[in-house]
Chain A
């Protein structure tokens, strides 16, 4: 039962071969959550390497067994039971930054105005779970898929030949 619901959970995937580096996803995220056009206040980050001409993005995977939730000393990070998305409770967070250190991609970031850590909440409930980064991306480099599909996607991209 739990396996099935994990496989159906909606997550984000990113196609670097389609990204143009326009930062609309970051601008949309910051504008929606904080009302400011500020790239530092976005929950998603895109990178472009001038030397290798490669695109990459830091997208929160809302892991099945999140390390950030396990490491939080005050249990401020919870996995929503129905949707499976991982959220930080801003009232409980004490700003120790442990989650930032243990996350494999360092997805959470420290908000200096509120002095707590914040991370992607999948635009839920502010947009009913329809992420604004996906809507703003013109080349459709960001997509929302079921986790089972995402597993196949990452397996093909990163583990070719390593079955």
Chain B
């Protein structure tokens, strides 16, 4: 912010808050609920938070500053849904980004804190099918009355990054460490042929598998591919 601008703003009584101040304040209040942040240009900051901490973040912002709620944007990433909450804090545009999985498909409403969110949340529900918990009036807003309820126009199919023909091999790779499964049939045939029942690979021995799976997690390939560790499957096959 230039010297002249700062002077003019302070004469008009506008508090000149810097971008990094807001970020540091939220980091102090939310601790590890803030995943990361970025300040791409002057008076513009993006803060990525966990979806469960949304209300806490908005409350924290309202306590210290006087944020003006602007709008909510929604981005459909195929297997995840991303919501961006835009606020105006003393001339800074602060965006809170949250991503949640489509299987969960719900997030808290901020209507009791910001009344203007009521309409935009109804619109997002109409177009994307996202549920807002505890919404005061969860009715249809912009879709025609006779529009079929299960058809959400802007909601994309539940598809991840891996192309269809490669899904089974990638799933087998992440869960076992090889592109083909080691079945008992294979073990029997190998034994009959005079070989050890399994090659000394990660897929055959429980001892080496944890290291392999940790590599998958640390290179973030499991998130990119959309792998569910509990079900041991890709989330969209």
Contacts and interface: CB of A to CB of B under 8 A. Distances in A.
**A and B: interacting chains:** yes
A54 interface: no
Interface string B87-121: 00000000000000000000000000000000000
Interface in A27-46: 31, 35-37
Contacts of A37: 163, 165-166
A35 B166 CA distance: 11
B52 interface: no
Interface residues of B, number: 4
Contacts of B163: 31, 35-37
A3 B230 CA distance: 61
A13 to B, nearest CB: 29
Contacts, number: 7
Contacts of B166: 37
Interface string B151-186: 000000000010101100000000000000000000
B163 to A, nearest CB: 5
Contacts of B161: 35
A31 B163 CA distance: 8
Interface in A48-77: none
A3 B165 CA distance: 47
Interface string B122-144: 00000000000000000000000
A40 to B, nearest CB: 14
B179 to A, nearest CB: 16
B80 to A, nearest CB: 15
A35 B165 CA distance: 12
A74 B161 CA distance: 33
A35 B163 CA distance: 7
Contacts of A31: 163
A31 B162 CA distance: 9
A36 B161 CA distance: 9
B152 to A, nearest CB: 20
7 contacts: A31-B163, A35-B161, A35-B163, A36-B163, A37-B163, A37-B165, A37-B166
Query: A-B pairs with the 5 shortest C-beta distances?
Result: A37-B163, A36-B163, A37-B165, A35-B161, A35-B163
